[in-house]
């Protein structure tokens, strides 16, 4: 059942429909629907818009991606369902590789997510036939491609489940996360955490990447000036203000 356009929560209800359809098509894991619920609760608290601290983290992420030697965008079921086009556009703008990496991994779902990304315009998608493992991870998330996540220096990990971000950090990589939950383990482990809804966030990172690309010195300045602790405090202060004054 599609919600009527006049419904005050139309956009949010349509996003749920999109995820349920993607679940039925074998793109999203059942657990992904639950994860979305947590994400949308935080989005509601943040006012369902990109906040000023998120913008700062988005610009810094663009700078880290542009200055990387081998940047990779990691994609799971939820990210593919909500933001296949923004992922592909960002990958082209940087340019960065795309790798499907699933927590609830089945080879069938890896293939389906890959096909969806290709329909969204990706020319190459890594993920099938994994030939390396992320050390220290027991889950199927450890499976990856040598020429992809394994050898990347900067990895963007939207909607993580925590332990992989920490394992990637132990490998010496720079980890950029997108997570609406500022208290999550991922949010705390990442070098840059974008606390914003994934489809909005990736569009903004792409816009900054296109802008910064023209000015390498400014790109390095933005990257080096990013202060993760300061950004985290700004996100939490924003949330605190919203909780005190929901209409602010």
Footprint on this chain of ligand PTJ (rule: CB under 6 A): 29, 31-32, 35-36, 38-39, 42, 76-78, 82, 102-104, 159-161, 178-181, 184, 197-198
Q: For 219-227, which contacts have Cβ atoms below 8 Å and span 24 or more sequence positions?
A: 219/62, 219/63, 219/66, 219/67, 220/63, 220/67, 222/59, 222/60, 222/62, 222/63, 223/60, 223/63, 223/64, 223/67, 225/60, 226/56, 226/57, 226/60, 226/63, 226/192
Instruction: Give 194's strand partners.
Output: 178
Nearer to ligand PTJ, 43 or 191 (CB): 43
Tokens of 165: 């971000």
CA angle, 47 then 179 then 107, to 5°: 130
Report in angstroms how near the CB of residue 178 gets to ligand PTJ at its nearest: 5
Task: Give the DSSP H/E element, type plus range, for residue 143.
Answer: strand 143-144
Least Å distance, CB 98 to ligand PTJ, is 14
Comparing CB distances to ligand PTJ, the nearer of 59 and 112 is 112
Query: In whole angstroms, what is the distance from residue 43 CA to residue 112 CA?
Result: 28
Minimum Å gap between C-beta 70 and ligand PTJ is 22
Q: Tell me the residue nearest to ligand PTJ as measured from the CB.
A: 39
Q: Give the nearer residue to ligand PTJ in terms of CB position, either 83 or 122.
A: 83
Cβ proximity to ligand PTJ, 41 vs 233, nearer residue: 41
Q: Closest Cα to residue 141, out of 71, 217, 150, 63?
A: 150
Find the shortest distance in angstroms from Cβ 217 to ligand PTJ.
31
Q: Which of helix, strand or coil describes residue 234?
A: helix
In the bound complex, what is the minimum distance in angstroms from residue 49's beta carbon to ligand PTJ? 13
CB of 35 to ligand PTJ, least distance (A): 3
Pairing outcome for strands 192-194 and 174-178: parallel
Provide the residue count of the chain.
248
Residue 220 beta carbon to ligand PTJ: minimum distance, rounded to whole angstroms: 28
37 vs 28: CA distance, rounded Å: 13
Of 44 and 220, the one with the shorter C-beta distance to ligand PTJ is 44
> Closer CB to ligand PTJ, residue 103 or residue 226?
103
> Among residues 110 and 219, whose Cβ is nearest to ligand PTJ?
110
Biggest distance spanned by C-alpha atoms of the chain:
51
């Amino acid at each position: 059942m599609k919600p009527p356009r006049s419904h005050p929560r139309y956009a949010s209800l349509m996003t749920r429909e999109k995820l349920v359809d993607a679940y039925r098509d074998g793109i999203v894991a059942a657990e992904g629907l639950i994860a979305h619920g947590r994400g949308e609760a935080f989005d509601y608290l943040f006012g369902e818009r990109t906040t000023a601290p998120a913008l700062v983290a988005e610009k810094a992420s663009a700078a880290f991606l542009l200055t990387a030697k081998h940047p990779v965008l990691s994609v799971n079921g939820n990210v593919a369902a909500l933001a296949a086009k923004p992922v592909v556009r960002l990958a082209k703008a940087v340019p960065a590789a795309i790798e499907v990496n699933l927590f609830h991994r089945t080879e069938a779902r890896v293939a389906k997510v890959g096909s969806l990304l290709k329909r969204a315009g990706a020319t190459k998608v890594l993920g099938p036939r994994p030939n390396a493992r992320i050390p220290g991870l027991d889950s199927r998330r450890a499976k990856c491609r040598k020429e992809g996540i394994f050898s990347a220096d900067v990895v963007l990990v939207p909607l993580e489940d925590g332990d992989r971000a920490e394992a990637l950090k132990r490998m010496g990589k720079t980890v950029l996360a997108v997570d609406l939950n500022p208290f999550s383990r991922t949010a705390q482990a990442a070098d840059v955490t974008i606390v914003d809804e994934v489809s909005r966030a990736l569009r903004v990172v792409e816009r900054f990447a296109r802008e910064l690309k023209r000015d390498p010195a400014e790109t390095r300045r933005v990257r080096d000036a990013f202060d993760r602790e300061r950004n985290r405090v700004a996100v939490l202060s924003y949330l605190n203000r919203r909780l005190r004054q929901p209409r602010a």
